[in-house]
Structure 1
Amino acid sequence: MKRTIVLAATLACIGAGSLAAPAAPKSASANASASAVAAAPWQRQAYVIPHQKFVLQNGLTLIVHTDHSVPVVGVNLWYHVGSRNEKRGKTGFAHLFEHFFFNGSENYPHGFREAMDDLGANNRNGTTNTDRTNFFEDVPVSALERTLYLEADRMGFLGNYISKDMLERERGVVQNEKRQGENQPYGRVHLEKSARMYPYSHPYSWPVIGSMEDLAAASLDDIREWYRTYYGPNNAVISLAGDITPERALELVRKYFESIPPGPPLPRTEAWIPQLERNVRDEMDDHVPQVRIYRSWHAPGWRDSGMVELGMVTDVLANTKSARLNRRLIDEKRLATAVSAGVDASELSSTFDIVVTVRAGVDPALAEKELDAVLAELLDEGPTAAEVARVKASTLASFARSIERLGGFGGRSDVLAESMTYGGAPDAYLQQLDTLSAARPATLKATAAQWLRAPHYTMTVKPFAKVSAAAATLDRKVLPALGEAPDVKFPAMQKATLSNGLQVILLERHSAPIVNVAVAIDAGTAADTPGKAGLASLTLELLNKGTRSGNRTRDAYQISDAFESLGARLFTGTGPDMSLVRLQATSAGLAPSLALLAEAVLAPSFPADEFALAKQRRLAQIAQEKAQPNALALRTLPAILYGTGSSYALPASGFDASVAGLSRDDLAAWHRAWFKPGSTTIVVTGDTTLAQVVPLLEAAFGKWQAGRAPAKSAVAAPAAATAGPAARRIYLIDKPDAQQSTILAGHLSLPPGQPEDLALEPVMQNFGGMATSRLNRNLRLDKHWSYGGTGRMTSVRGPRNFFTLIAVQSDKTRESLIEVDKEIRDIAGKRPIEGEEFTSIMRNMTSRLAGRFETINALESAALETVNLGLPEDYWANYAAGMRALDPPQLAGAAGKFIRPDDVVWLVVGDLRKIEPRIRELGWGEVTVLDNDGKPLR
């Protein structure tokens, strides 16, 4: 499965499609804003990521970017090898080898995941696409040397460590990953698209993950030869960004990498753009709730300026409220519930993709006809100057937000590594920004005509008739020591109160010219009732779809355009206890952005046409949730645990009947009841001060009439729902032909505010919160029955829900249930966390704190959690010290108090023809089969 870029706003700098193993412009203190750049002549220097480049004797390229803002270094290692380097009959090697890289190496045979968890790495993964394999992790500066040692050992000393057992284990994991991707609704589309759009001999014509047959046939000799050929230092770039100097970086990289011999020279095709001789059409039946149309054209590759220009065209066509396809197909013609477009950028060639999800009951031919009409208008007339300006402003603002991060997809280390790998220079991304800045309506019209008047590929996916629910002498056996985890300083939570009683919290961070503003309303989905489930979330969704303030009105398109022109974004969301309206703005554009935010919060008009469309989209969303196994399980279990009398039992999206019965008056009444300044907190994070922002907030929100929302007793609170079902139960939901079974196990636990809450965090992290958790070690790494799962405790004000969610191959459903039950019982007390396991998980919890609050989004989330759960004001300031002070008995006490194995309720979604008889053999209590609405069938 490729990670498709659907927004041109992130450019190609975030990378081509990837398959996973879920900086400040100019400098850390730069203050040029994206909106200022958009309004003024192109200020290229504002987007330069300062760096130094070195090339070692063995050909390894090192790029170093220094930023001392946080004690973290983003490590990003790119190998210029992907599925394009394979050949038919031996596909899937690049991705399979990505998995091998996590299994340990000759001098450190203990596993890379375990090592990263042990040293507290954040934001880490490995991914493979058609053209490259990358590995990245954000590590505390105290662990950088060990990380580089481990990366070097993977590069130079992995081949002889690969064993037949490792091959068999990872082959099983990859096969489950392939099943998991194809088991999702619309999950097989990309496989068909690649095979049909590219000629048989083209290296993009087979899937990155490979075929089941090729994976099964791969031999140990094949794998070792692949490693020797493609993973040498001369075919790699290592990019380090963060709290490191170029001198120290070069010293460490030379120490561990320079003695690794280079691999063979590799011939490399630079471009291969196929051409379709005619339009190609396919149809597919799948277990999906709605018809979906996929339309694709061939496009130029990463280096070509036309790829960037086509990315801008996708944002003219789709992805925002006022984009042409969104407006025509969703709002005006009401033919679709969702539209997206993007350039899936790759090195040899790319594809220009449009996806339309057709509204239920609509003839897909009508939607496709309208798509063709909109596209023809754009090709004939070109985009307007206003459209091009909006795309530029939003793209530059998105890029600024992306490079706030040091590592991960789109972070500074990633941008530099990708530019070096694909563009031949660390700053090649600037050429793409140059192209963006220079683009004019005529330019985009010409580029669109060149590529989009060519033959195209169309796939229509239809529901089945019945939809189912160092130096050469370096001793590499010596593991570098880890330094003490760096101290973590959480910004002070500065407070103010506006004249109407509105509370303000500010967390300053001046590393990038961006500001977040979150308006937190003290009511969420728990304010809904069963008959009006979905009301809270639908109200929030429509806040920015129309406003009426005095004599001025704005429709959804005007609101969307106003935010885009400022390089700002508005998001809304609803949790169980709190609703959020979140603004992402630039520093320079903060004042006008706040005015728009206030207009959306205080004066929504809930237009009748937008309300009707929103209801249609919501009903389509509910259908999608019922079609997706994990989402179906997650929307079903709360009602079983909390009981139908609890508002915590209601899915945020609502039910078909409840949504269908909602009126505009319901939304307006909900808004009037709960949107009160005395029950609202505004959280500001980023590049501003209290002295600067309070007057701006007063100007924007000061006229909001003082008052408080109703007391929480006015809603159906779940306080009485503190115990699980009286007897152990298993619930089953049928998903015919499913390749995997989704297992969801859970029970109600205690509300927050317990003395053991802090100790519970490492318990849950060790149980199911990371790649090497007990749950994943058992079912993914040891037994390879699953691609992975999670175990969590929900974060609500009332009784929390302990749950475990994992998808497993169908023929191992019964066995997996037994193993999950074992892991729950073990963590609850049978096998407490102690000894080396305790040392490792606590090192993970304390060391990863260095990167936990790297971004203003993370600071915002922490502040909002403080508001939502009523945490002490100094909670986060004292968090690190409190975590370091925990001991094994405290973890054992927390696990025993919060996790009760005998109260667990089991919910399994899968093909009941295959799995039901063996599940019943377990004898775990009453077995009930539910429909997709959670109602008993038998």
Structure 2
Amino acid sequence: MRLAPRSSAIALAAALLLSACASAPTADVASAPPASTEKAAPAPASPAELVAKVDIPFEKFVLANGLTTIVHTDRKAPIVGVTTYYKVGSKNEPRGKTGFAHLYEHLFFGGSANVPDFDIPLEAAGSTPTNGSTWYDRTNYVETVPTGALDVALFMESDRMGHLLPAVTQDKLDKQRGVVQNEKRQGDNQPYGLFEYAQSEGLLPVGHPYRHSTIGSMADLDAATLTDVRKWFTDHYGPNNVVLVLSGDIDAATARAKVEKWFGDIPRGPDIKPVAAEPVTLGAPVTREIADQVPVLRLTRNWTAPGLNDADTPALQIGMHILGGLASSRLDNELVRGQQLAVAVTASAQVFQQLGLLTMAMDVKPGVDRAKANAAFDKVLADYLRDGPTEDEVRRAVVSTLSGEIGGLERVGGFSGKGATLAEGQVYSDDPAKYKQDLARMAALTPAEIKAALNKWLSRPVYALDVVPGARKESGDAMGGWGDEAQQPARGSKPKGTDPETKAPAIAAGPKREMPPLGQIGALTFPAIEHATLSNGIEVALARRSTVPKLVLSLDFDAGYAADALDTPGTQGLMLAMLDQGTSKLDATQIAEAQERLGANISVDGSLDTSSVTLSALSANLAPSLDLMAQIVRDPAFAPSEVARVKAQSEAELAQALSTPSALAARSLGTELFGTHPYAQPGDGLGDAASLAALTPDQLRAAHDKWLRPDLARITVVGDVTMAELKPMLERAFGQWQAPAAPKPVKPIDTAVAASSGNRIVLIDRPNSPQSVIMAGRVLPMTGKTPDVEALQLANDILGGGFLSRLNKDLREDKGWSYGVRSGVAQPIGPRSVQVAAPVQSDKTGAAIQAIIADMSAFPGKKPVTAEELQRVTEGAIRQLPNQFETTAAVQAAIRKNERLGRPEDYYVTLADKYRTIDAQAIGAAATQYLQPKGLTFVVVGDRKVVEPQLKGLGLPVEVRSAPAAPHGRD
């Protein structure tokens, strides 16, 4: 993946960096909703009824050269998802070439014979996202573009499919090799970051196509040559090995003409040879442990399983979901809420085309005897295999799965939208509608069928792989490869039969192709917002969207983690975490089960400014879902035993944050920037170990009564419901809820923040870190209510706000030191800050800080805004607007943000006109005022012995601290 994957440090850093933009959790005291005298709510929809709602109509055609095209029409917005799947992944890599499919995916964005850079014209045309990813079975590329930019996107996809090689140079190969190696280091640097390597090593023999990791080994990445790259392209990237899906504002007749025009002259390539990759049964149980810098002991049980086309797979997916995927799973009920031996559990079936991985995991509660934990862990599985699931468990697992599938139908493109669903059906099963078969099969499953499948596959010898707290003894650099590296030449030597120093011959450019002009780009149409007020004064905003039969409803309170400035650090977060852990009428398991039966999800969350409870519900099940939400918000029990359990989980979560480089850096930077201001509270809401340990049920109840009250609340709803239907349900759930007599609390967010006296570095020593995480920031002289900040937003887009930003292009694309660098201007209600997040290879830490300072200093003085940058961040951003509000969740987030920051409801509709009035001079002025490096505080989490010598020549004061010690349970 070119941008940070879900599990990467930069993704987490960015989330923490901009966490003030998110909404927050909720709860309240008072009594439960009054008993209704109205007629009973309708019964929840059945699995069969839900399956009937999942439908993606399509047409398919195949060109003479073998390119398969699938078209799905969805006219809800003037956008088209362009989804391209190549039938090649890491399972097709031969010995000595591990990581090659993924490395090539990165190279695929570096330009072709007629397109110097793919990202610039696509982003200028309004594409979002523009990305790619690689996995065992395929490589895919996605972009969602305005309808008027479809020809541009198809031209570019066809140019790199048919005319790529003349543009692939040794320089590009070397730079992307560095990027990929930093991506590998970034993943390896996380707690439990070596687990997947060890998992595949124990389950699969050397040479099995699914054994080596998709990111590969450092040695193989080092050895890749330009000749290798060219051969990989010619062997695998022919149109006959491709599935192209166009989904959205397009029809089959129009699509066929365009696809013929742009792709029809590309010649066929060799057919990709199938590989044999069957599940493997171990000859006997295997036990292994690896030590890592982790906060708690993790026990796992692992097996291989069949691929996605096997008849047993739907039963295994639902069966594992019941075991450890549901909130009310067997593992949760017994080990977390029951015996309280674990702080987290999970079980899942990870299914690929030819192979599956079945995994169950238990994070052991600190202080629990390891032998006792192991015995209890195995007993849950043994009892489950003996008894099988109940009818109710099967129904809950199926309904919750189907509800998620329905929600996914909102997106036409991207990695998980309708385009990807159709493409994967065609690529993996030769049937774009395979998803229908799978869902229908799940809906029809019986407990007996699930029990039989689980016993067939989980009764085989198990691979027990445990991660124990301690010093890491293994290096990710030496893992992820073929498995016979010990018999191969040492890293850095020339691979047999190749010579990396030999220059590959030049390739003729071929015929010149002209990029088509952009067509007309549709303007953003934001849904109308209706308003109402409940009997007790709670304001309600509704935007109706009937794309899918679901809705998202949030109850936001003016509280958030900054409220802890008036309480004890961690109070708000722990109080919010307790809301769905029991009421006066339901315990935590019953609450989880009720959500699963309804296909609803009630999430409780927080940000610096806001505490929120958000309900995602099927429209047909809204009334009972709201009743459940109201009980959670208004009637939490705060039972002492449950508080003790959830507190232990929060303490483990805190330990995990302190063990995760990006999370530790983000927590530390916030404290350094804001000092005694309420925003110095950790943005994860976890407070600190001492304050968490001291919190009592009475304190949590007091915080609930103090902050979660109707006169601090607002409700925002987006989805398939009318105000006439919605308001009576809200009145029933929340309308009679009265505010307490005490005056509303007021957070002191207008407290002044001490100005920075100059640049400085805080180095947090984390030994054996293959990467350093750099986070830098300073508080700006503005607040969330400061008007006319659009020029600053555009300036940040140029500096570090996206893939094409200056910081990312410099440290990632040009230097190859990082997998991704970002900057952002946080948008809380109070003081704002600019922050930079840059995970870099350890030996480039000092140089990376120098580069960040230089890039910021040069903007706009030595390097003013270019014409390309101005067009991209203004016209390109305008063209992206319709893409940004494709989902109900995105629309809802925009409405809530506008209200929180006091912006008009039509803010995003008028944004295009605002952007058009901002010129390069205004952007440069904003960069001069707000984005200069003077006064930055740098927090660096890395290996002191490697990093500290690099910092001595920077001329900045350096304070060195030890990384916080995470509590360890007994082994």
What is the TM-score normalised by the length of structure 1? Answer: 0.92
Count of residue pairs the alignment pairs up: 896
Moved more, 532-541 or 749-758: 749-758
Aligned partner (choices 210, 217, 231) of residue 211 of structure 1: 217
Superposition map of 1:425-436 within 5 A: 425-436=431-442
For residue 809 of structure 1, report the CA deviation from its aligned partner. 0.6
Question: What is the distance in 1 between the residues matched to 2:751 and 2:924?
Answer: 26
Deviation sequence 1:510-549 (CA, Å, 0-9, x none): 111001110001111111038711111111111111112x
Deviation (angstroms), 1:889: 2.1
Kindly indicate whether the alpha-carbon contact (under 8 Å) linking 2:681 and 2:687 is maintained by their aligned counterparts in 1: no
Spell out, residue by residue over 1:252-305, the C-alpha distance to the aligned partner (whole angstroms, 9 max, x if none): 111111110111123314651221111111111111111112221111101113
CA distance in 2, matches of 1:409, 1:906: 34
Q: For 1:262-661, what aligned pairs fall within 5 Å after superposition?
A: 262-269=268-275, 272-464=278-470, 476-529=512-565, 532-548=568-584, 553-651=585-683, 652-661=685-694
Structure 2 Cα separation of the partners of residues 333 and 113 of structure 1: 53
Aligned to 1:181: 187
Whether 1:77 and 2:84 are equivalent positions in the alignment is yes
Q: What do residues 760-810 of structure 1 show as CA deviations (whole Å, max 9, x unaligned)?
A: 222222221211111110000000000112100112111111100111011
1:485/1:392 CA distance change after superposition, 3 Å: same
CA shift in 2, pair 1:606/1:524, >3 Å: same
2:726 to 660, 680, 693: 693
Partner of 2:763 in structure 1?
732
Further displaced range: 94-103 or 833-842: 833-842
Is this contact kept in 2: 1:526–1:577, CA < 8 A? Answer: yes
Which ranges in structure 2 are unaligned for 5 or more consecutive residues?
A: 7-14, 16-41, 474-508, 967-971
Q: Is the 8 A contact 1:679 1:708 kept in 2?
A: no
What is the rounded CA distance, in whole Å, between the counterparts of 1:572 and 1:247 in structure 2?
A: 46
CA distance in 2, matches of 1:619, 1:897: 41
Q: Structure 2 counterpart of 1:301, which letter? A: G
Query: 1:676 deviation in Å?
Result: 1.8
Aligned to 1:670: 703
State the 1:4 CA deviation: 15
User: What is the rounded CA distance, in whole Å, between the counterparts of 1:437 and 1:221 in structure 2?
Assistant: 50
SS in 2 for 1:902: coil
One-letter amino acid of the counterpart of residue 764, structure 2: I
Tell me which of 854, 867, 873 is aligned to 2:886. 854
Per-residue CA deviations over 1:80-133 (Å, capped at 9, x if unaligned) read 00111111112111111100111011111x222223222221133211111100
Asked if the contact 2:181/2:218 (under 8 Å) is kept, the reply is yes
Query: Residue type matched to 2:712 in 1?
Result: S
Q: Flag structure 1 segments of 5+ consecutive residues without an equivalent.
A: 7-21, 23-34, 468-472
Superposed, 1:70-109 pairs within 5 Å as 70-108=77-115
Aligned residues of 1:401 and 1:514 also touching (Cα < 8 A): yes
Whether the 8 Å CA contact 2:201–2:211 is kept in 1: the answer is: yes
1:827 Cα offset (Å): 3.3
Which amino acid in the other structure matches residue 187 of structure 2? G
1:682 matched to 2:715? The reply is yes
Corresponding residue number in structure 2 for 1:703: 736
Amino acid at match of 2:309: R
C-alpha distance in structure 1 between counterparts of 2:935 and 2:920, whole Å: 24
- Calculate the aligned-residue CA RMSD, in Å: 2.4
Do the aligned residues in 1 keep the contact of 2:63 with 2:260 (CA within 8 Å)? Answer: yes
- Kindly provide the amino acid, as one letter, of the partner of residue 653 in structure 1: L
In the superposition, relative to structure 1, how do residues 830 and 363 fare at CA in structure 2: closer, same or farther (>3 Å)? farther
Name the stretch that deviates more: 376-385 or 833-842: 833-842
The 1:192/1:271 distance shift into structure 2, 3 A limit, reads: closer
What is the CA–CA distance in structure 1 between the aligned matches of 2:43 and 2:118, rounded to whole Å?
A: 44
Matched residue type, 1:506: L
How far the C-alpha of 1:342 sits from its partner, in A, is 1.2
Give TM-score scaled by structure 2 length.
Answer: 0.89
Distance in 1 (CA, whole Å) between partners of 2:399 and 2:107 is: 42
Residues 140-151 of structure 1: pairs in structure 2 closer than 5 A: 140-151=146-157
Which residue identity is paired with 2:104?
F
The 5-angstrom pairing of residues 151-170 of structure 1 reads 151-170=157-176
What residue is the counterpart of 2:969 in the other structure?
none
- Quickly say closer, same or farther: Cα 1:253–1:573, change in 2 above 3 A: same
- Give % identity: 40
> Partners in 2 of 1:125 and 1:613 — Cα distance?
41
Of 56, 64, 73, which residue of structure 2 is paired with 1:49?
56
Residue 864 of structure 1 and its aligned partner are, at CA, apart by 1.2
Q: 1:539 touches 1:667 (CA, 8 Å); kept in 2?
A: yes
Are residues 866 and 644 of structure 1, via their aligned partners in 2, closer, same or farther at CA, if it must alter by over 3 Å?
same
Q: Aligned runs of 1:859-870 on 2, under 5 Å?
A: 859-870=891-902
- Structure 1 residues 882-933: Cα deviation after superposition (integer angstroms, max 9, x where no partner): 2233222222232233224211111111111011022022112x21112335
Question: What SS does the corresponding residue of 1:822 show, helix, strand or coil?
Answer: helix
Deviations 1:550-572 (A, max 9, x none): xxx11111111111111100101
Per the alignment, residue 470 of structure 1 pairs with none
Match of 1:27 in 2: none
What residue number does 1:12 align with?
none
Q: Which amino acid aligns with 1:375?
A: L
| Structure 1, 241-250 or 402-411: larger mean CA deviation | 402-411
Moved more, 154-163 or 444-453: 154-163
Q: In the aligned structure 1, how far is the partner of 2:297 from the partner of 2:47?
A: 44
Following the alignment from structure 1 to structure 2, what is the Cα–Cα distance between the partners of residues 649 and 706? 27
**Aligned-pair distance for 1:504?**
0.2
Distance in 2, matches of 1:129 and 1:771, equals 21
Greater Cα shift, 386-395 or 818-827: 818-827
The farther-off stretch of 152-161 and 780-789 is 152-161
Q: Render the CA deviation track for 1:304-334: whole Å, top value 9, x for unaligned.
A: 1312211101111113332110111111111
- Report the secondary structure of 1:365's partner residue: helix
Are the equivalent residues in 1 in contact too, given 2:89–2:101 (CA < 8 A)? yes
Q: Does 1:195 align with 2:201?
A: yes
Q: CA deviation at 1:428?
A: 1.2
SS in 1 for 2:665: helix
Q: What is the CA distance between 1:673 and its match in structure 2?
A: 1.0
> Which position in structure 2 is the counterpart of 1:30?
none
- Change beyond 3 A, Cα 1:830–1:406: same
The range that moved more, 869-878 or 744-753, is: 869-878
8 Å Cα contact 1:677/1:708 also seen in 2: no
2:784 and 2:901 in contact (8 A); partners too: yes
What's the counterpart of residue 954 of structure 2? 922
1:416-453: CA deviations, max 9, x gaps?
Answer: 00000001011011111122012100000000000000
Q: Where does residue 478 of structure 2 map in the other structure?
A: none
Which of 802, 806, 827 lines up with 2:859 in the alignment? 827
Q: How is 1:789-804 mapped onto 2 (pairs within 5 angstroms)? A: 789-804=821-836
Partner of 2:482: none
**CA deviation vs aligned residue, 1:570-601 (integer Å, no higher than 9, x gap):** 10111111111000001111111111111111
Higher RCO by CA contacts (8 Å cutoff, separation 6 or greater)? 2
